[in-house]
Structure 1
Amino acid sequence: MRHAERHRTGRMGWLRAAVLGANDGIVSTASLVLGVAAAGADTRAVLVAGVAGLVAGAMSMAAGEYVSVSSQLDAEQADLARERRELASAPVQEHAELAEIYVRRGLDPELARTVASQLMAHDALEAHARDELGISEVMTARPIQAAWASAAAFSVGAALPLLVVAWCPAHLLWWAVAGSALVFLALLGSLAARTGGAPVLVAAARVTFWGALAMALTAAIGAWFGVAA
């Protein structure tokens, strides 16, 4: 019977983009809302600013993630093209190089050469991409997936503070937005840690601390401008 194993490595691409997007959505939108509210704006102005921040932030996240991951993909494709040329022009040297990698990983030289021969006979480029370059199907860059995941996650995260603004009485807005944002961040950190197999409390405390700091600084700046005005 085949033993099916579930590994978390395959989740890292979309998990990173989703967590980063949702975290940024909550922190930036809640901070923006608190800053505008602290400056003395009414609920409608706060809500308009928050919605504008959601749209701008989602597009910024998508564009930034797409450009970043596209650059990574370009580098991977360039490395693969070079490796393909080297396999065509110097297969013996490439075989020796792959065998040496396996020796460094613990195989004896004869077995390493046998493994290298068999893997190169099956798919030489795949073997070198995986074991020499560290490029695999699971970890390869996917710009479109990363961009959509970031934009969608940012929008979901940003919508949470905006829902609080829309339903919260004006005199409770500041405390409701700040408190709910910290709760959302803690839940997000916990969920991401559980999905990725990391310590839950550490992840929750980390995102909550930085979110609280961002909101406090933004609110302080908004209050300062409100007084100055």
Structure 2
Amino acid sequence: MSFDLTIFWDQLMSPVYLQGALLAVLVALGSLVLAIAIGLAMALMKRSENKVALAAANTYVWFFRALPSMLMLVICWNALPQLIPAFRADWYSPFVAAVIALGVSEAAYVAEMLRSAIMAVDDGQRLAARALGMTPVQTFLKVVVPQATRIAIPSLGNELIALVKLTAIASVISLQELMRVATIGVQATFRYAEYYAVAIIYYLVIVSLIMIVQSVIEKRFQWTSKQQKVRVTK
């Protein structure tokens, strides 16, 4: 059986694949936003002098690092509706379950990325900001966050790419993402090469676009960080 270009091109231009790719990207973005929100809280708690907060953050990171992402997916989709009545409503879809599962799981890793980025900001910058009369909150938001963001962007970009690929396992809860679409086509036609080749093309395009956007953001925050440093040290 040879590679059929007609099938390949038909599927490449199919709106079903485009919808699957878009869904994969949306799940990855939603998961990353949730992971950053939780991860930032965990990172700040791990830097806290409060022993309870520190213990809670360490426990969270330890626990969710130990659980496979696929296990979190099936727990969120199958177990949560049994335990919490609110998750039995119509709004709770495979998309929402995937975002929650992947976001909560990846937050354990994002927490360490953000903590290391915050720690990488020179303490002299904080002291200079306090000397200028800034409050601790102002110092964090106006001095630490811009510089820590610049440091964290490469790691977060890699995390987003990893999440796009990780959405493939969401097929276990019937999410119609890119890999699920390809698999359904293969099961119907047994044309493995053509359908999986289309999935490869879409993944390459998605990752390439993420890398371009990441590069633009890195340049933007590099400029912002330099300007911020000049203002604080004056």
TM-score bucket (shorter structure): 0.3 to 0.5
TM-score under structure 1 length normalisation: 0.33
Greater RCO structure (CA 8 Å; 6+ sep)? 1
For the pair shown, the structure with the greater C-alpha radius of gyration is: 1
Give the TM-score normalised by the residue count of structure 2. Answer: 0.33
